[in-house]
Structure 1
Amino acid sequence: MRTMGRVLVTASALAIGASTAWAGGVERSAQSVGILFEKGNYAEFSIGRVSPDVSGVQQVSAAATSLAGAPSGDMAGDYNTYGVGVKLQVNDRIDVALVLDEPVGADVAYAMGSSPAGMNYLYGGSTADINSLGATALLRYKLPNNFSVIGGVRQISTSGTVALFNGYQMRTSTETDYGYVIGVAWEKPEIAARVALTYNSSVTHDFNANENGLSTSFETEIPQSVNLEAQTGVAADTLVFGSIRWVDWSAFEIAPPAYMGAASNVFADPLVSYQDDTFTYTLGVGRKFNDTWSGAAFVTHETGKGGYSGNLGPTDGSTALGLAATYTMDRMKITGGIRYVMIGDAETETPAGIGIPTGSCNLTGDSDCGTFGKFTDNTALALGLRVAYSF
């Protein structure tokens, strides 16, 4: 059973990690601590490719009746994800690890589609990008009775750019700030059982920004999160695994002061914000076929929030199916995975003040101007590859 656990842990880790290939907010890393439980000294490199297809249709509204029926085109660009991790066993009680990843990211690009009347979708030509680099140093200390405590420090560097159809442009500085990780775990190696509960603190950035030539500043919080990861052997060569992840997305917003109209209060809402937090659930089964091959199948569900979604992120929850396979050769393990994501339908709200004729919508702070766009039947395909070596 111990051998089965070692062989399958890579497949299950890739499956859980891939669960954030399309996740709530702008999240791109699950912040798993699974690397701490690898045996001995261990290193891994992973890369993924995500191809989302997110499109919608502009609705009839008092704000822009002439644009009704205009298609948005695919507004979510393809992107790559990556991760590097090294874990060292210091002694029988202490393990340390360093993980590099991309905690948050965004690649938004609205095409210049057209309605039957020849008018462009209002957000046509708008783009937004968020780039980040995270480095997390972790330590695990083993206690008696199969318990262990986990602690660490997390560094995140983040920057972003936005260019909207109405001429608004914004570019931020690259800011580097710190948070922490704490947790506890329990194991029963003879049945490949493990439960790990970890808390990741929020990380707050104070950005300097250039908004259409104006020097401004604003604060954005990369939200706190809680991970519960578990696995256990249920039969010979068979492992069940899963995770529950909560992220405090209601604390996240991008609200540059010039965009918000600090003096005139023209804009009612931030560029990006979320009304509710997200819960992401993953459940899977792994199977060792022989000493060389093992595989895993899993399902992931992220709860929808309801209400309106932002025009720069018109999705609401998701359900995904995935497969992963691991090839083991001496000290090396190569794992590949694929994941098909059914993205939740969403409606976006008419954006008060953005290129909409005066009188068509309340521009004094109330953005409740009705449904602007409907985004339905959207999907994403994610591919992942991980190469690991024990030494």
Structure 2
Amino acid sequence: MRATFHLKTLAVAIATLSVASMTNAAGLDRSGQDITAFLQDGTYAEAVYTYIDADVTGNDNAYVGTSDTAYVKGNKTGDIAESYDFFRYGVKTDINDTFSVGILYDEPFGAAAAYTGDNNFTGAPTAAIDGLIAQQLDGKVPGQTITSAAGLDAYVKGVQQQLAAGREQVRQGEAAIAANPALESTLRPQIVAGKAQIAAGEAQVAPLVGLNGYAAGQLANTEGTNVEVRSESITAILGAKFGANKEFQIYGGPVAQRIEAQTRLRGSAYDLATGYTSNSNPDMDYGWLAGVSYSKPEIALKAALTYRSEIDHKMDITETYPLAGLLAGNPAAATQTNEMEITTPKSVNFDFQTGINPTTLATAKVRWVPWSDFAIVPPLYNQISKRATGDDVGLPLVDYDDDQWQVELGLAKRLAPALAVSGTVGWDSGSGDPTTSLGPIDGYYSVGLGAKYNVTPEWAVSVGGKYLWFGDAKGKLPTQQIVGDFQDNDGYILGMKLSYQGK
């Protein structure tokens, strides 16, 4: 007699796999955009909490020269990956034996990185400022060779002292004439010549004062580079089953997505972009989801293919770029608010499970995200970057070279009527190496364990964890210059889920 593996029998083992199973390292991917809550039978609800702690350390680039790809091991960066957590919620019910509805909430995209310590990503960008001064003043100050911020400051202060002395002499001459008008013919020519010299000196030193003020402001900076990206997503799904045994289902629905970001670039690694700061206002925009699934309850088989669309955002972003104020000759031009467009990527998820025997379930998840199509291009940053590229395209703040592929395989075993355990192994391709210095990881390998306990036939608590070995990566600027090397890094994920499943 053929054994059958009814889904209700194996349900205790299924949900353990999704507690901490789809948290990603490629691009800005975070939640994996899991929809398996909608694929459960009957009325189902879940609340999932996930905590991630990664250790991402490396060294800055001590190379001095003209090659963008050369690297010499420099100072340690410390751990740049900030721990973060997020929630996922889902609820689904069957209207009848054909139609189902559900609502899912997750936080699909995000980033949290901060540099600390003594390295090229923190503090005063001395080398970059000295280089700018040497370039700007080469041969432009008669009789002077100024190649550093210290040299410029000394020269400007010296000229200002001379101008102050000249003004004092003019004041004394005017006072002498007022006290003794007979000195008019003698002192007036000297006063006129002195005023002319002062005016010429002020005109000569004025642009140097602006450059000196810019340099002083940047060299006084003691902050570190950091970035934070947050997003939220709500998906409404309607599904319709068809086929002789209702084994097929098509589903789809609208997606509302909210996203915001903050960036601070500090230290000499970012060259003349150092001091750049941006804050984007939260923006809500909309996309869609569509998919198809197949089930065969007698062997506990389920397979689902889900497509999520791109979502185009238009948001207000306030940028402060000190170099912009210097180039414009107007400090107020350093801060601007403009509209920025950003498109979060489309994705394809494949979810599969099948029973091996009446107490064991095998699962597989595959995810594809075309991160090579994604870029963050703040308007002011891009405008100033065109001076470096010499074209009308400029540079993005963040982009990626490769698409992400992720594969995760798992087994779940029911040990007792109310208890099941699970294990997973996973691989993430990453999105290219070298990659952005704001997230220098090139994919990972992972292993995970989980357990689920049914408190009642309907209510269950699941816990899970995963250990990740991150791929080594070099950090680069949008100019393709290598600024750091990050090796031998790892992290872990912990998750907990409360779920309800009724008829």
Residue number among 369, 376, 379 corresponding to 1:247 in the alignment: 369
Q: Look up the SS of the partner of 2:372 in the other structure.
A: helix
Matched, 1:105 2:110: yes
1: distance between equivalents of 2:71 and 2:356?
Answer: 60
Q: Look up the SS of the partner of 2:416 in the other structure.
A: coil
Paired residue total = 370
2: distance between equivalents of 1:54 and 1:249?
Answer: 21
Aligned to 1:62: 64
Aligned to 1:86: 91
Aligned to 2:253: 152
For 2:13, the aligned partner's letter is L
CA contact (8 A) 1:173 1:207 kept: yes
Residue number among 46, 49, 52 corresponding to 1:47 in the alignment: 49
Compute the RMSD of aligned alpha carbons: 2.4
Aligned to 1:342: 469
Aligned to 1:280: 406
Matched, 1:294 2:425: no
Q: 1:72 to 1:7 in 2, by over 3 A?
A: same
For 2:420, the aligned partner's letter is S
Question: TM-score, normalization: structure 2?
Answer: 0.70
1: distance between equivalents of 2:497 and 2:126?
Answer: 40
Deviations 1:155-175 (A, max 9, x none): 101111111112111011111
Q: Look up the SS of the partner of 2:117 in the other structure.
A: coil
Aligned to 2:305: 197
Q: Percent identity?
A: 31
2: distance between equivalents of 1:30 and 1:263?
Answer: 33
Aligned to 1:382: 493
> Bigger shift: 52-61 or 127-136?
52-61
From the two aligned structures, give the one with the greater strand fraction: 1
For residue 124 of structure 1, report the CA deviation from its aligned partner. 6.9
2: distance between equivalents of 1:198 and 1:188?
Answer: 18
Deviations 1:2-56 (A, max 9, x none): 23331122112335xx322x33111112222211222221211110110011111
Give the alignment of 1:8-19 within 5 angstroms.
Answer: 8-15=13-20, 18-19=21-22
1: distance between equivalents of 2:126 and 2:85?
Answer: 27
For 1:152, the aligned partner's letter is G
Aligned to 1:74: 79
For residue 260 of structure 1, report the CA deviation from its aligned partner. 2.1
CA contact (8 A) 1:185 1:196 kept: yes
CA contact (8 A) 1:324 1:335 kept: yes
CA contact (8 A) 1:70 1:119 kept: no
For 2:56, the aligned partner's letter is V
2: distance between equivalents of 1:121 and 1:75?
Answer: 22
1: distance between equivalents of 2:483 and 2:470?
Answer: 19
CA contact (8 A) 2:401 2:432 kept: no
2: distance between equivalents of 1:67 and 1:346?
Answer: 15
Matched, 1:256 2:378: yes
Residue number among 337, 346, 367 corresponding to 1:215 in the alignment: 337
CA contact (8 A) 1:147 1:186 kept: yes
For residue 62 of structure 1, report the CA deviation from its aligned partner. 2.6
CA contact (8 A) 1:25 1:274 kept: yes
1: distance between equivalents of 2:388 and 2:416?
Answer: 64
For 2:29, the aligned partner's letter is E
Residue number among 347, 358, 361 corresponding to 1:225 in the alignment: 347
Matched, 1:37 2:163: no
2: distance between equivalents of 1:285 and 1:121?
Answer: 55
CA contact (8 A) 1:70 1:121 kept: no
- Mark the runs of 5 or more structure 1 residues left unpaired by the alignment: 353-366
For residue 290 of structure 1, report the CA deviation from its aligned partner. 0.8
For residue 266 of structure 1, report the CA deviation from its aligned partner. 3.5
Residue number among 231, 247, 250 corresponding to 1:132 in the alignment: 231
Q: Look up the SS of the partner of 2:97 in the other structure.
A: coil
- Mark the runs of 5 or more structure 2 residues left unpaired by the alignment: 128-221, 267-273, 321-334
1: distance between equivalents of 2:283 and 2:413?
Answer: 43
1: distance between equivalents of 2:451 and 2:125?
Answer: 45
Deviations 1:129-159 (A, max 9, x none): 1111110001111101411101111110111
Deviations 1:46-80 (A, max 9, x none): 10110011111113323599995211111110000
Deviations 1:312-370 (A, max 9, x none): 01111111100010001221111000000111000123x37xxxxxxxxxxxxxx244x
